[in-house]
Structure formats: C-alpha cells, structure tokens
Amino acid sequence: MKNQNFTDLGKAVLKTEAEAINDLIDRLDEKFNRACEMMLACEGRIVVIGMGKSGHIGGKIAATLASTGSPSFFVHPGEASHGDMGMITSKDVVIALSNSGETAEILTILPLIKRLAVPLVSLTGKPSSELARSADVNLDISVRNEACPHDLAPTSSTTATLAMGDALAIALLQARGFTAEDFARSHPGGSLGRKLLLHVEQIMHTGDTIPYVSVNALLGAALLEMTRKSLGMTAIVDEGMKIIGIFTDGDLRRTLDMGLDIHNTPITDIMTSHCKVATKGMLAAEALQLMDKHKINALLVADENHQLIGALNMHDMLRAGVV
C-alpha cells in the first residue's frame, strides 16, 4: 500500500471522529445543565465508572475533573461488585459510561447506586437503553458510525465520550471560578507548576550576591562589580539602598562605542534610570513576561519602598525551569 493511501485512510478517520464531536454540539441542552448542576452541588466525589474502552475513557475523564477543581476518581464496575462499591457514598455523584447502555457489569450495580440515592449521570449512545432510562440525566453521545471500516472498534464513540467529559469538566471549572494558579496546585511537580507557582523570591539572588554600586561610583567600579557577581548587570543605589538605576551588559556595549574613560565617567551618566523592577511576591512567570516585553535579560527586585532586595537574570529562569 502506498504511503498516500495511509494518509487518505488517516484523514478519513479524523473526519469521521470530527463529525462525531460536531454532532454533540446541538445536543447540549437542559440535560447538560442539569448534569453540571448535580456535579457542582456534589458534597463528595464524582465517581466515574465504565467497562472496556469506556473504562479507559472514564479514567481520563475522572483525572480531568480532579485536576480542574471537581474531586473525582474512577471505579471499575466489575470490581465494584466485589467490594469496591464501598468506595461510593451517598454524598457522591456517579457518571456511568456505556455506548450500548446495556453493559452488564454496570447494570448489576445500578440497584446499589439507587439504594444509596446517589445522583446518576449516564453517557450512552442509546437513549432508550436500560442505563439511560435508569439515570437521573442521560447525555446522548451516539455517533453515526465508528471510524473502523467494520463499524465495530470503539473509535468515534470513545472520542465523543471523551469530548463530552471534557465539556462537563471545563463547564464546571468555569462555574467554580477555577484559576490557572488553582490548576498549578494540582500539578506541582511538572513544568506547569513551576511556571505558575514559583515566585521571584524563590529564585532571586540576595545578600552579598546582589550586584550593586553607590550612586557616586565610577564606571570602572561598576564593571568590577558586574564581573564579581556575574549577573550581567549591576544596580545603582543611594545610601538607603533605594534603586536609582541599572547598568547592564547592553549598556556596556553602547558605552564602549562611545569611547568613554572608565576611570573618570560617573556611572550615573550612563546608567538606565527608571528601570523595570520585580517584587519578591511576583510570580516568576510574570517576571519572565516583563523581561520578554521589554527585551531585557535581567531584573532588580525591590521592596515596597523601592529599596534593592534581590536580582535575577534569564539564566536563573532557565535553571528554575520557568523558561
């Protein structure tokens, strides 16, 4: 088979699955609203159940809900019949996934779910199925056909189920006012957590490692300080450590073009006044945006009185994993 044939087959699959998702849009109605309201009012956990491929999709839906502010976990319906039913409490909401709506393992535990008076949301491809009729709310995830040429392998149906799960999760996220920082708290170990939770004070240089010279210093003294501290810049401060300006590697290159005498040129003649500064409570990601916006590679850190308390540069951002 030629490579072009593989490409055509792949495109056909994606087109079929895209149609399945597109068909869901017009089905989002009052039932979807009721399902969201039930989950938003949940005092316990949102428990997702499903068998086979639906079970795999259910695991992802539960993970998405949990990471977007709606505490959730997945329970295998087969295991629920052998003890795991105890994981479901009367304060929970159950989401049951079954394209046929007749999955035996789910139907077996339906009476137990009903006995607990647990709200039940079903996602099925057959609104007339037993599961759909037993649910408090059924969301129709039926598809015209699977992407499989035999119309057998779960493809379009699992894609539609996953998309409906995402719609529920993100609708709840917005209803809860869930922020990017809230999201990062559930991902503290990854790059996202570092970008959204790391603050300037955690990566800035402090104390003797801060490069600075007096407002009365000459250019030569500033160059020595920049060399000693290796941050590519130095702050210029007054007697009370208030920031007067900054002198950077970029300023140095421009100064060399001017042919100035480093032993007689006051640093205040060539420094950058009114320089951009960060605060210690600022997110490192915000400091990075500030650097990008103004095309600078280093920042001084000031307190509420504009006094120098720290410094950082792009290398510090790289080491911290913010970039």
At residue 22, the pLDDT reads 97
At CA 124, angle to CA 118 and CA 125, rounded to 5?
165
Q: What is the CATH number of the domain that holds 312?
A: 3.10.580.10
Asked, for residue 194, whether it belongs to a domain, the answer is no
Q: What is d(CA 236, CA 228) in angstroms, rounded to the nearest whole number?
A: 15
Q: How confident is the model at residue 275 (pLDDT cuts 50, 70, 90)?
A: very high
pLDDT tens digit sequence for 206-241 = 999 999 999 999 999 999 999 999 999 999 999 999
Tokens of 178: 């869930």
Q: Same structural domain for residues 212 and 264?
A: yes
Q: What is the CATH number of the domain that holds 22?
A: 3.40.50.10490
Asked, for residue 154, whether it belongs to a domain, the answer is yes
CA atoms within 13 A on the CB side of 264: 3
Which residues span the domain enclosing 248? 200-320
Asked, for residue 188, whether it belongs to a domain, the answer is no
Asked, for residue 314, whether it belongs to a domain, the answer is yes
At residue 321, the pLDDT reads 80
Instruction: Please report, rounded to a whole number, the percentage of residues in the chain having pLDDT higher than 70.
Output: 93
Q: Concatenated DSSP letters for 81-121?
A: TTTGGGG--TT-EEEEEESSS--HHHHHHHHHHHHTT--EE
pLDDT tens digit sequence for 66-104 = 989 999 999 999 999 888 999 999 999 999 999 999 999
Q: Same structural domain for residues 173 and 256?
A: no
How many domains is the chain built from? 2
Asked, for residue 184, whether it belongs to a domain, the answer is no
